Amino acid sequence: MNFTFVDWAIVVTYLAASVGIGLLGKRYVGTVSHYLVAGRELGLYVGIATLAATEIGTITFMYNAELGYKYGFAAFAAAIISGIVMIIVGRTGFVISKFRELKLMTVPEYFEIKYSRGLRIVTGMLVALGGILNMGVFLKIEGEFLTIVSGINARHIVAVMTVILLLELLYTVLGGMVSVVITDFMQYVLLSIATILVSIYAVYFAGWGNIVNKVTTVMGDGGFDPITNPKFGLTFLVWQILLWFSVHTCWQTTAMRMFSTKSPETSKRVMTWTGFIFLGRGMLPMLWGIAALTLYGTGALTNGVPAPVVNGATLTPIDAMPAMLANILGPGIRGIVVAGMLAATMSVNSSYLLGWSAVISQDIILPIRQALGKGALSSRGQIFVNRVANLFVSLFLMFWGLYYTPPGAVYLYLNITGTIFLAGAFVCVIGGLYWSRSNTTGGYVAMLSGAAGAIIPFFFLHWSENVTGFVAFGLAAAGLIVGSLLGRQTARKAQEAIATD
């Protein structure tokens, strides 16, 4: 066991405070708009905190550190793209401003405004499938981190992760977005302190000169130049630009923060400033991974990179960073860092639970109910359906998340599962907002061909992630254009009919 009494005290205090504060949120929830989009009253600073906390989790630290370990400084390209694209989206208001003006609660809701209820349901199903599969690997990876850093016996990790999931589920189910935002604020501060602390420790222990030398020795030019690195290259960079534009505009958990802000102008400012955080969100943990390679990369070569060997045990690259933390952090600091990582874990998981369950309830269950001729549910009824969906998503995660192991680099697995719906959704949203000829037929073809373009090449044909990404976005775009030109023109519905609050 690596943890001392002080470390445990810090972690338990954090958990109790987090759940206690989260439960306070319930008193402010009166309507479904409070439950899902925080009453649309978030200001700039809380908006930044909740958006950053939602998209920075232990899983983010783990997969970015893995990229740094495997590909050196060249991996920074992915982080730079994610941050710069976010700043561009924020500055221009590309998609997000119009979304905010429409007063949406979920991304698929837009599909009923522009296209049809049927397409909203299909999109909702694909969003829920891609999103839940994406989140499905979080628990296992987060559990690995906790096991290695704290020294908890691996046999207990299922129980530990189950307890953590239940704690975050408790306040998310009861207080919805209000509880999530309150806890996100506290969790953002804590995870940021942990991020800064770990970065200082990693560079101090590994040494900047040693870090540069190790990457040079192991990877040569490919460790610095993303264009000559065989895993990346120009196709990867272009795919990443496309992917991040779609993530920052159409990813349900990010979009929900934009829907929750006071005004379209506030949503733009939140997105812009969080873009700068996104630079560090990627690069700092990648640096930890490179530091772990420098300190422990002495094992047998796999794809040209030495396996990490820590205290005599050979690990996988993704476990190198937590093993490094277990060795370099002292008592007390280790507790603060683990509390920070737990904060990151809980903020992401609670936001994702709410995001995907909102899609299941608002875009699948409620529209099907309406299509069957049943009347609209009251606000209280909708909150109840959301809570049940939340429980369903959690149950799925418990089984899928703890037993499924993704193939290859986790970052790329997450990219592909996200692309299942992002390719079609992004193309349909852009077409819907900026191309008057786009119609329902094109929307269906785009959503289905985008999903097929992500699933078939990656899971069945075993094509590379870059090619799969291009195929998915390309098919979706071609599907929207061809389908819209061949299909019948549909009248645009009044937005008032759908913007219910």
Partner 1 sequence: MNLWLLFWTFCLVVAGASFAFITVVVSIKGGRDLQQWFKSLQQQNRE
Q: What stretch of H or E contains 293?
A: helix 264-296
**Residues 484, 438 contacting (CB under 8 angstroms):** yes
Which of 19, 23, 193, 218 touches partner 1 (CB under 8 A)?
Answer: 193
Residue 141 burial by CB count (10 A; 0-12/13-18/19+): exposed, middle or buried?
A: buried
Indicate the residue among 198 and 471 with the shorter CB distance to partner 1: 198
Instruction: Kindly write out the interface string for residues 57-76 of this chain, putting x where it contacts partner 1 by CB under 8 A and - elsewhere.
Output: ----------------x--x
138, 173, 137, 171: which is closest to 57 by C-alpha? 138
3-state helix, strand, coil in the chain (%, to 5): 80, 5, 15
Write the single-letter amino acid at 215: V
Q: Which of 37, 126, 135, 283 binds partner 1 (CB under 8 A)?
A: 283
Q: Quick check: 398 binds partner 1 (CB under 8 A)?
A: no
Rg, the chain, Cα only: 22
Distance spanning both ends of the chain, measured CA to CA:
52
Residue 20 CA, distance from chain mean position = 25
Identify whether the C-beta of residue 490 lies closer than 8 Å to the C-beta of residue 115.
yes
Q: Which two tokens stand for residue 298?
A: 């002495």
Q: C-alpha distances in angstroms, 66 versus 140, 316, 332, 448?
A: 15, 9, 26, 32
Does residue 280 belong to the site contacting partner 1 (CB under 8 A)?
Answer: yes
Among 88, 160, 238, 279, binds partner 1 (CB under 8 A): 279
How would you class 463 by CB atoms within 10 Å of its CB: exposed for 0-12, middle for 13-18, buried for 19 or more?
middle
CB of 41 to partner 1, least distance (A): 4
Which position among 36, 38, 85, 389 is part of the footprint of partner 1 (CB under 8 A)?
38
Q: Does 125 bind partner 1 (CB under 8 A)?
A: no
Rank residues 49 and 256 by Cβ distance to partner 1 and give the closer one: 49
In angstroms, the CA 309 to CA 317 distance is: 10
Q: Which of 34, 140, 334, 387 binds partner 1 (CB under 8 A)?
A: 34
Which of 102, 149, 271, 277: binder of partner 1 (CB under 8 A)? 277
Which residue in 71, 185, 296, 444 binds partner 1 (CB under 8 A)? Answer: 185
Residues 77-106, mask of contacts with partner 1 (x by CB under 8 A): --xx--x-----------------------
For partner 1, which stretch binds (CB under 8 A), given 271-279, 350-358, 373-381, 397-405? 271-279
CB of 48 to partner 1, least distance (A): 5
Partners of 309 in beta bridges: 314
**379 interacts with partner 1 by CB under 8 A:** no
Q: Judged by CB under 8 A, which of 44, 197, 478, 499 binds partner 1?
A: 44
Q: Considering the rule CB under 8 A, would residue 225 count as an interface residue with partner 1?
A: yes
Residue 216 or 495: which CB sits closer to partner 1? 216
For the record, the structure tokens of 423 come out as: 């390719």
**Distance from CA of residue 367 to its chain's centroid?**
26
Interface positions with partner 1 (CB under 8 A)? 28, 30-31, 34, 38-39, 41-46, 48-49, 73, 76, 79-80, 83, 178, 181-182, 185, 188-189, 192-193, 195-196, 199, 212, 216, 221, 224-225, 273, 276-277, 279-284, 287
